[in-house]
Amino acid sequence: MPESASLHYFIGDLGHWFAITSFVTALFTAFSYIRSQQQQDLDKKRSWTVNARAAFYIHSIAVLGVVISLFVIIYGHYFEYHYAYSHSSRQLPTHYMVSCFWEGQEGSFLLWMFWQAILGIILIQTGKDWEASVMIIFSVVQGFLASMILGVVIPLVNIKIGSSPFMLLRDVMDDPIFTMQPDFIPKDGSGLNPLLQNYWMVIHPPTLFLGFALTLVPFAFCISGLIEKKYSEWIKPALPWAIFGAAVLGLGILMGGYWAYETLSFGGYWNWDPVENAVYVPWIIMIASIHTMITYKNSSTALKTSILLVIAVFVLILYSTFLTRSGILGDASVHSFTDLGLSGQLLIYLLFFTLLSIWLVTSRWKHIPTSEREVSTYSREFWIFLGATTLCLMGFQVLIPTSIPVWNSIVGFFGGVSNMAPPANQVEFYSRFQLWFAVVVALLSGTGQFFWWKKIDRERLKKEITTPILLSLLVFSLLLVIGKITEPSYIILTLAGSYIIVANSFILYSILKVNPKLSGGAVAHIGIGLMLLGILFSSGYSKIVSLNNTGMLISKDMTTEFNRDNLLLFINEPRSMAGYDIEYRGERLEPSEKSGYVKKNEIDLTSNPYRVVANKEIIFNGKKLFDAGDTFGINPENTFYQIELKRNERLVATLFPRVQFNPAMGGLLISPDIKRGLSKDLYTHVSAPMDPNSEVKWGETEEVRVKRGEKFFINDYVAVLEDVKRIDHVEDVLLSDEDVAVQA
């Protein structure tokens, strides 16, 4: 065996050892903190606490060791490992190799563990009296996550725990090559999912998993409070973490939406995909829990509601993990992972904390203090309760249809048959309900703020709210005229969005005069109003401008709508579209070393399909990219189509929508390019690309004799020969001195 291969195996063995260490130390941390809690003697208590801290620090180092080991395998192109072979390739830039790390289930579990290890260290340093009880919960969660990447088989019972990212390819793939050549190493890997080859996928998953990790902190404080019978004291340390977690999780969701907008070809940023829903729901419930926690902090009400909501957030995060990773969604989601045989472990993980929470809540319920204060319609508690209830209903309206595959599996497990199916048109189904929930939330957010900051009765409410309502109507009227809004539901949403912005602006002005530090709630609510209006104008008023004005069918095999809504472009023939002259200029390739695009006739192929040679000086946008004879890298899977937009013969923009041929992902993958503007975007993608590997079907040769100006039939079309002339230049074609180009 070569020395390099031995070194590669050492890295895998080291990473696996780190994974086992992380699991063992997580459990030992929990055990040590439990023993610390049981001690009456201060010295023994301190001793067990020191042991627990040391174990968690070792655990954190082990998690970091797993991370480094796996990244070394990916970055070093050690394709003898299944994880590197399945998710990476030699041609990937470094930043996309980072994306390879969390493309697989094992890597994403590891990312989740990494964030929680950091949060655990912070809590050890800042937890004070809460340290032991909170870290017990933290360590148990870390133990469950560490078990997902163990990849060990228990002897005798032959039960496998987890899936290791350090499995060798020969141990996973049943291929004859490994029988004949056990040390066979592929020259290259399968590559990263092309949909993930986007800069948002470098930063979106870490942000989202940090949000996941942060939901554990308020949950751990809440469960600790129930265990130690500190029924209300947990609110104070948990609230800042809940706010931070909601902000990070919301940011992660927004990043995912922008990735979808730039990468997927459905023309939007939110498709109500089951996995999108499974993250959206806990975020909505988390927002509700923050409001009830703030209510308790200020008026000692809604404690029980806060406990239920904080627990629900973490349980829903675990449920979303089960949905995404168990394979139960099948083809219902573009985001879901394939099943690695972890569905049983994931279910145990979910049930453990669900049942623990139910047991603690039911056993402590009658002891949890409640307020005897009567809630008035004109009290802030009443309006907060209405808002939290609406948010919960908003979340569960999405959760129930999303869970239909789970329900079908449960029925099937018990021998029954369920024919329930998720909504056929997800966008229309969910948007129809969520729009009205959003209207109610906006009205409550605008009105509730007046009750929050001021002692108010009916007469004062009229006085305080009259001016904001009148100004809201003015803003609303302007938006109706400017946006030309006519759809009744959109009109109501515009009114609600205008009201929440104006009403909270009045509140913000009042707060800034007294104490600017208290302005966060009003600013957040103004942001909600702006978001509602942004969603309305970006989604509700998107329209197709690429209507086919050529009078020709794109394909007889396509639907009427497809042939109508997609403009047919011929190379170097301008067409009018949406106030632009649009022209298709040909196929392009993207160099890996420099920013720009090259024409296919400017390069010569080499024996390496990922390396080409410039056969002439290559210039892009007036900037020289390569000299003749330069060798540079490309990705031959990616083809870009150059589209020029002109107005009054002036070039306005050049777009390069992408088509990738990837058999592993089902063939052709289409990604858009976007001309961004202040008030609107022009969203462009190639809707009917040619498969480069498909066999071209030629009809029988047909000879037609025709004169200038004469009509003739060809391939079911009526054609007219207008003129025949010689030309000296053909775009993307090199003409030698002996070539003659003719244009008809």
Tell me the pLDDT tens digit for each residue of 672-713: 888 888 778 888 888 887 766 666 666 677 788 888 888 877
- At 720 the pLDDT is 83
* Percent of the chain scoring above 70 in pLDDT: 92
Q: Which of 339-348, 422-431, 497-506 has the lowest mean pLDDT?
A: 339-348
Q: List, for residues 297-337, the tens digit of each pLDDT value.
A: 888 888 999 999 999 999 999 999 988 887 777 655 555 45
- At 24 the pLDDT is 97
> What is the mean predicted confidence (pLDDT) over 49-75?
96
- The whole-model pTM stands at 0.87
Average pLDDT of the chain to the nearest whole number: 86
Q: Which of 68-77, 354-363, 571-580 has the lowest mean pLDDT?
A: 571-580
Calpha distance 517→724 (Å, rounded): 76
- At 3 the pLDDT is 40
| DSSP per residue, 361-393 | HHHHGGGS----PPPPTTSHHHHHHHHHHHHHH
> What is the mean predicted confidence (pLDDT) over 160-183?
85
Backbone angle region of 667, left / alpha / beta, with phi > 0 → left and psi within -120 to 50 → alpha? left
At residue 398 the predicted structure's pLDDT band, cuts being 50, 70 and 90, is very high
- At 1 the pLDDT is 38
Calpha distance 661→665 (Å, rounded): 9
Q: Are 285 and 388 in contact (CB under 8 A)?
A: no
Assigned token pair, 450: 């007046």
Confidence check: pLDDT of 349 > 70: yes
- At 354 the pLDDT is 96
> What is the mean predicted confidence (pLDDT) over 376-393?
83
- At 373 the pLDDT is 66
- At 107 the pLDDT is 92
Q: Which of 432-446, 516-530, 716-730 has the lowest mean pLDDT?
A: 716-730
SS3 state of residue 601: helix
At residue 613 the predicted structure's pLDDT band, cuts being 50, 70 and 90, is very high
Report angle CA 505, 676, 480 to the nearest 5 degrees.
45
- At 395 the pLDDT is 94
Whole-Å CA distances, 680 to 101, 259, 545, 627, 713: 35, 18, 12, 39, 42
Closest to 507 (Cα-Cα) out of 446, 441, 442: 446
CA 255 to chain centre: 6
> What is the mean predicted confidence (pLDDT) over 46-55?
95
> What is the mean predicted confidence (pLDDT) over 379-383?
78
Calpha distance 581→587 (Å, rounded): 19
Q: Are 339 and 346 in contact (CB under 8 A)?
A: no
Q: Are 484 and 536 in contact (CB under 8 A)?
A: no
> What is the mean predicted confidence (pLDDT) over 71-81?
93
At residue 406 the predicted structure's pLDDT band, cuts being 50, 70 and 90, is confident
- Count of CB atoms situated within 10 Å of the CB of 275: 20
Confidence check: pLDDT of 248 > 50: yes
Q: Which of 373-387, 547-561, 664-678 has the lowest mean pLDDT?
A: 373-387
- At 188 the pLDDT is 85
Q: List, for residues 250-264, the tens digit of each pLDDT value.
A: 999 999 888 888 887
Closest to 122 (Cα-Cα) out of 202, 44, 220: 220
Calpha distance 59→49 (Å, rounded): 15
At residue 467 the predicted structure's pLDDT band, cuts being 50, 70 and 90, is confident
